[in-house]
Each structure stands twice: as C-alpha cells, then as structure tokens.
Chains A and B, each alone.
Chain A
C-alpha cells in the first residue's frame, strides 16, 4: 500500500562520512554488482561497449568543491543513494502500489511485479535516488540490501549493505536510527549528522557527516609568487629587445 506508515519499528539506514570518503566509487560498483545478480531485475547498461554508454546505478558519487571568500577551496566526495525518507514523497504518488515503505524497518522498496514504469516516483524524489531501468522498464532504487542484512546464508560480517561492506575508507556505516545507542545514532550525535535538503520536508533517515573543520583553511593557501622584474638583462634581454624590434 502506498500509504506511509505513521511510524516504523526500526529506522534502518546509512551514515555517510563526507570527511572520510575518498571518492573511489567502490561503493557504487559493488552496489551495481550485487544488485545486478541479486534483487529483482538486473541493473542494465545500454550501449555498454559503444560510443554513448549509460546504465542504471543505485548509488552515484559526485565530487563538490566548497570555497569561502579568502579561503582555500575544499574538495568533498559525495556518494548519493536513497535516503529511505520517513516522509518519502516517492511512495504516496505511486498509482500501482508497487512503491512502499516497510513498517518493520522503514526500508523503501519497489515491488517490480506491480510497477508499470510510469516514472512518477522518480519525479517525486528530490534526490535523484530512483532510476527507471531502460531494459526492464521498472523502477530501480537502493534496497538497503534487504537481501543481505537478514540473510542467514551469509557469514555474519557480510550481513550489511554491499556498499558499507566494500568501502575501503570506512566512510559508510549501517544501523538503526531508532535506537539512540546504535553506532549510527552515536556518530550522528558526535559529528553533527545532517539531512540533505531539509526544506523538502522528506525527513531522510540516512545522515551525512560534514567534513571536520580544517585546522587552518586560511593558512593553507600558497603564498603568492613574487612578481618578476619587468627588465630582463644579459643575452636573454638583448634577444627579447631585438625580437621586439623585428
């Protein structure tokens, strides 16, 4: 049903540490790998070996630059996937009932057996977290690896989302935000975890940890080089003047 649950027992989601992320895109690739062989229709690529390749991804890593007046710029790598919003605008718009938010853990999913590929949910999501697979014609989105986290067939250390398991920098954390004592809740409290586009009123579950303040952003700028004197002397000077005259 496309009615959002008034509350969910657990609030499973991710914390993404923008201070630690090195922008390697490993999470993106492991996500593509896992979700191509596991949950639902594979994530297809179009014209994969041609001149104009494109494909479906559930996680994409942007890189931004932030710069304050008079300070050095800072580079921030920024992975973005579904935030499993509490007030998910993508769910109520769905005409078929394919999109839903689970009452038990808050995960937002698409039932591909009902999805007609109208794309309205992707329009409703402010974050670009949903992509219509061009081969299967159904909506794809992050499942929070629902087929890993409860999977008793996997070794215990693998029962976390594929992106979290893969991240070589340890920039991604998985847990229950409804539990104030969980690893993710503590991280958010300690590091000032934030919402993306809070003005959209979606109440994202996933939180982003802002980059830690740099020790001295002003001092990190290179001192300007000394201006070279206009007058060149010696042979080069003679050459310069002669060439000028020709």
Chain B
C-alpha cells in the first residue's frame, strides 16, 4: 500500500495527541495552572494537526461533511465522530482544570476512554480490510493502542508506565512482523484463485493490461523501497522503544533527555508507520503478478 505522507503524519501525530489525552484525563501528571494548560494544548495541538493532515489525501474534500453520516457500518465515519467527541470532551475538561482549577475526574476518565476509542477506530479502518491480509488481524488495533499509549506516557512523563508499554510495543511489533510476513500466503489468495485458472496449471501474467502506471498500482501495489525493509525494522525498534527505554533506565531524566527520548521515539514511529503501509500487500497485486 502507498505510504502517503499525509496518512503517516496523521496516524502518528494524532496518535501521540490522543495518547497524551489518555494520561491527562487520568490526572497524570499531577499539575495545574499554566503547566496543565501547556500539556493540554500540546495534546489538542497534536490531535488536531494530525486530523487536519488526514484531509490532505482526500480527492474531493468539499464532501467531507458527509463523512459523519455512516457510523452504522463505516469505521472511517466512526473515527470522524468519535474524534470530534473526544476533542470536545477533552477541551471542556482541560479548560476547567487549567483555568478554573476544577479538575472533574469523571469527565477526565471519559476523555481518556474516548481518546483510546478514537485510536481504536483508526486502527479498525485498516484491520477490517480482508483485501490486505497483513493488516487483517487483531494485532493491528492492539499495536495502534500500544503505540499511542506509550507515546502518551513519554509525553506526560510517566516513565515507569512508559517502560512497560515500550516493552509491549517491542514484543507485539515483532509478533506483527513475523505473522505479517506469511499473512498473504496464509490468506489462501493467489494468482490462481484470483484468475480462477489454477485448474490449468501454474499461472503467470503474460501481458499487463496497460503499459503505463495507474491508480491501482500507485495506491495498492506499492513496492518501492521494500528492499530496505529489514534494516528499517531494526532501526525503527531501536529508536521507538530501545533507546528511550535505555535512557529512562540509565540516566537522570531531565528536560534535555526527555527531548532526546521524544525525538528518537517519533522518528522510530515514522519508520514503523512507513513500513506498516509500504510492506502491506493488497491482493489486487496478484492480478499484476506482484505483491
């Protein structure tokens, strides 16, 4: 699948924002006044920037308003609705907390729950697709939630929780890659089932339907740069989880260290999300003898 920058930025940055909301909603860190205001602004800012980035990949944004209508069946519609609810709830909670010194725990818990629900709906947009076997697994939503929570824990300075979450990220990301590499084969789809010609023998593409590029190839049969995938996987785990964990364990965490940790985590996160798209094989590739 095509790793569109707008989609990568959206899912990583907004994930961090909603992850931070999770902890702020729980009343962590225990701050108030302008410090609380800064934390809340960062959370809202990240979530909103991410959501805005996601509109850049729309072909016809003027109809985006209809996207709130199909919540009964569409995860994308649900994501739109829940994200607006989350932003609204969190905004009220944070305003009361930072400016009126009135932290309402129940409202905070609601904001936390909504923030995680938003991340879950995002992940289900991908996990629901049978046509992309690598994504079509329960590990996909689990990982999205873990990444968001781990990033939120780092941002809100909850380093012990962050350590645990980074460990889980490491474990489940490794599992996802191991499972993912065989997902297409295990799905049972092949060029033989795609063409129905398996009975005649081994099938291969003799002539492409078009000599140039097209939307399908660009969007769903993206194979550019896959050869660096193995290196990028190692690099991503190193930056997203290992280096931050080591810094937390071995150094006196101050502002500079936190900045280094966040930088490392975010670069690792971008690499992970790039791989998430670039390595995902859509079954339509079978019609082009590509995966």
Within 8 A of B (CB), among A116-152: 116-120, 122-128, 131-134, 136-139
B129 contact set on A, CB distance < 8 A: 89, 93, 123-124
Instruction: Give the size of the chain B interface in residues (CB under 8 angstroms).
Output: 59
Q: List 28 A-B contacts (CB under 8 A).
A: A1-B72, A3-B72, A54-B213, A55-B214, A62-B207, A64-B206, A65-B206, A67-B200, A67-B201, A67-B202, A69-B201, A74-B201, A93-B74, A95-B66, A95-B67, A95-B76, A95-B77, A96-B66, A96-B67, A96-B70, A126-B131, A128-B284, A131-B214, A134-B59, A134-B215, A195-B196, A196-B195, A196-B196
Contact: A60 with B66, CB < 8 Å? no
Taken together as a complex, chains A and B put the C-alpha atoms of A91 and B74 apart, in Å, by: 9
Contact: B201 with A68, CB < 8 Å? yes
Give the dominant DSSP class at B's interface: mixed
Which A residue sits closest to B282, measured CB to CB?
A123
B70 contact set on A, CB distance < 8 A: 1-2, 94-97
Taken together as a complex, chains A and B put the C-alpha atoms of A228 and B92 apart, in Å, by: 90
- B224 CB to nearest chain A CB (Å): 16
Is B52 an interface residue, CB under 8 A from the partner?
no
Contact: B201 with A71, CB < 8 Å? yes
Is A35 an interface residue, CB under 8 A from the partner?
no
Taken together as a complex, chains A and B put the C-alpha atoms of A201 and B197 apart, in Å, by: 18
Which residue of A118, A125, A139, A197 is within 8 Å of B189 (Cβ)?
A197
- B109 CB to nearest chain A CB (Å): 28
Within 8 A of A (CB), among B258-289: 282-284, 287
Q: Given A93-B129, A196-B196, list of 6 further CB < 8 A pairs?
A: A1-B70, A98-B63, A116-B64, A118-B67, A197-B189, A200-B283
- Residue-by-residue, is B109-133 near A (CB-CB < 8 Å gives 1, otherwise 0)? 0000000000000000100111110
Q: Which of A6-14, A75-83, A170-178, A235-243 contacts B (4 or more CB under 8 A)?
A: A75-83
Is A52 an interface residue, CB under 8 A from the partner?
yes
Is A92 an interface residue, CB under 8 A from the partner?
yes
- A115 CB to nearest chain B CB (Å): 6
Taken together as a complex, chains A and B put the C-alpha atoms of A62 and B216 apart, in Å, by: 14
Which A residue sits closest to B132, measured CB to CB?
A123
Counting from the closest, the 6 A-B pairs by CB-CB distance are: A117-B59, A137-B59, A68-B201, A66-B200, A128-B284, A96-B66
Which residue of A74, A89, A196, A201 is within 8 Å of B200 (Cβ)?
A74
Taken together as a complex, chains A and B put the C-alpha atoms of A97 and B66 apart, in Å, by: 7
* A interface residues (Cβ-Cβ under 8 A, vs B): 1-3, 18, 23, 28, 52-57, 60-69, 71, 73-76, 78, 80, 89, 91-98, 113-120, 122-128, 131-134, 136-139, 194-201, 208, 210-211
A62 contact set on B, CB distance < 8 A: 205, 207-209, 287
* B interface residues (Cβ-Cβ under 8 A, vs A): 1, 57-64, 66-70, 72-77, 80, 125, 128-132, 187-189, 191, 193-197, 199-210, 212-216, 219-220, 282-284, 287
Contact: A116 with B59, CB < 8 Å? yes
B205 contact set on A, CB distance < 8 A: 62-65
Contact: B63 with A54, CB < 8 Å? no
Taken together as a complex, chains A and B put the C-alpha atoms of A23 and B208 apart, in Å, by: 11
Contact: B189 with A199, CB < 8 Å? yes
- B203 CB to nearest chain A CB (Å): 5
Taken together as a complex, chains A and B put the C-alpha atoms of A76 and B212 apart, in Å, by: 21
